[in-house]
Every structure is written in structure tokens, then in C-alpha cells.
Structure 1
Amino acid sequence: MSISTKTGDNGTTSLWSGERVPKDSLRVESYGTIDELNSFLGDARHMVHTLRIQGLIETIQEDLFRVAGSLATSTPGAYIYPVTDEDVERLTSLVHQLEAEIPLKGFVIPGATPASARLDICRSICRRAERRIVALSHTEAVDGPTLRYVNRLSDLLFMMARYEEAQEGKIRYKEWPASRT
């Protein structure tokens, strides 16, 4: 079977359930942005230097198929492989581990290394995906773990970028001018 089915030539696409929706719907925009994030994570994986972060990226990419699947399903609970609260807790734990290893001391200037720059791009795409998912949740059902997972993922991506920078001693902080009081 070819990936070119011509069924989308009229501006619609199929959800996981088979339901046809416009390609510019918030649901399609939401899971499409998750797909974009997954692609950029693939690029970032080739740039990072640490095996730890490479492994995290691979796990996240696997998870994102589950996030996209949930978003590509208009009936809550119908997708059979959704992310769960346990997945959200796993990300939260990873964020806390990295924060303990890399205590931040101010506003970080993104992209001090090529690897961290790629991860910071992923973080900003993740935040856009979250905004699209929140907008979708105002009009259609979105399961809670999916929204929480994407929210937590942006935090983790931020810390993964800082981890890569810390390994090279290159975290850059915003310097503020002295107060004029």
C-alpha cells in the first residue's frame, strides 16, 4: 500500500478512528506539532554528546507516538496506547534529577552549544504544541495525562539542554546591569 492515497486531496485527513477532519483543525495542528517536535528531536539526537541525553531523546520519541495517537483520536480513552500519569511522573523525576545535578543561578541564554541549541528549539516547539493542545481542549476533549506530559516535557527539554551545556562548561546566563538606585 502506498503512502500516497490521494484521500487528502480535498483538504481532509483521517484520524486514528478513521473519522475525516479538515487538515487545518486544531486536532490535526496539535498532533502535527508533536510530529514536528519528534522530527526535530531526531535531529537533536545526532548533535548531543552524552549517551544519557541520547537515550532520553529516544525514549521521548517513542512516547511522542503515543501522545500523537491520543491527539489523533476524537473520543477520549479510545486510543489504546495513551501516555499515562506514570509517564508524567517519570518526566517529573527526570527534571528533578537534572535540576539537582545542575543548579541554575539565573536566566539562561539558550543555545550555548550546537546540541543545546537543537534541544532549545525542541523545547520551543514543545511549548507551541502545548498551546495548540490547550486551544483544542477548549472545544474538544483532551485527556489530562497528554496535556501534563507535554507540559512536563518542555521542562525536561530545557534541563536536557542545560545538561549538555554543563558537560562542556558552557551554560550562559543573562547578565543584568547594576541597579541605578
Structure 2
Amino acid sequence: MRLHHGRRRPGLAVIPLAALLLAACGRSSGNPSSGGGSPSPSGTALSVQTDSVSGIGTVLANGAGLTLYHNTKETGTKIVCTGGCASFWPPVLVTGSLPQDTGMITGTFGTIMRPDGTTQLTINGMPLYTYSGDSASGQASGQGIQGVWFAVSASGSSTSAAGSGGSSGGGGGGYGGYGS
């Protein structure tokens, strides 16, 4: 039987590095960022639908069924999630026309220019994002992270009052992205 005394676990060294990277998500920058997101093909309408998320209710989702979020520190004139933050919270980018009215969504769609020059979808003035921790329809893993990220309801309002079943702790829920 071999014992591995004194052997280091390289994975543990990554935790402080990840924390530093994530802390950078909280800073607003005037520098252009590479943003993330999946823009709609040029000239086509972006698809936005509704989806049901347990504990939250009916929320907006993109064409792939991923929940759409907003950052309560942002408005239709102020973007704070740029750079590394946008890799965890990809902005919903628009290159074609705005989503079509499905009758299920009562909010008003619009756009905002991001610091990197791309155009981001808004609803009722709130810039919209997906969360990299969601991988399927019906998930809202980003709900309540850092107390500023919340799913958006079909009426285009925040779900911040409706249970924050997401996480702000427990193994990496600190993907902040809020400015000062």
C-alpha cells in the first residue's frame, strides 16, 4: 500500500486564482470587451420565449430555452458586466430584428450599445443575459447570485421578490459582475 504524504493537490491552487478572476467581474470598465453571447444570424429576428422555472414561475428564455437574467446594477443606459463578467453572464446580442410579439411576453423590447460596440437586447430598459451555469430549459442557477442577478418574468420585470433559489455560495456561485 502506497501512501501519498506531502503530495499537493493542484486543483486547490486554482481556487484563489478563480476568486481573483471573478472579483474582476465586479468592476466596470471603459475598455471594450469581447463580450460573449450568441448573436442572432444577421437579418433574422432574435428568438425569446417563456419558460417555467420551479420556485420562480414563468420567465423569459432564449431560443435554446436558457433563462434570461438582468443585473440590478444595470439600466438601459449603464452596462457594468463587461470583460470576464460577460464570459459568465453572456449578453443577449442582437444583430437582426427584435423578437416578435408572441402574446405571452408583455414587456417592451429594446436595445443598448455595449462598451465593445455590440448591441444588447433589453426588456423594459433592462439589459438581458444568459448564465453560463445554466445548460437546459427550466434552469435558473444564476437566480440571486451576489444579490444582483435575477431572472426576468414574462412581463419584463425582475423576479427578485420571488424566491432566490439560485446560489450565492456553495462552490462557485460568486460570479458577480456588479459595479460600484
Tell me if TM exceeds 0.5.
Answer: no
Q: TM-score range by the shorter chain?
A: under 0.3
Greater C-alpha radius of gyration: 1
- Report the TM-score when normalising by structure 1: 0.26
- Greater strand share, 1 or 2? 2
- Report the TM-score when normalising by structure 2: 0.26
- Greater helix share, 1 or 2? 1
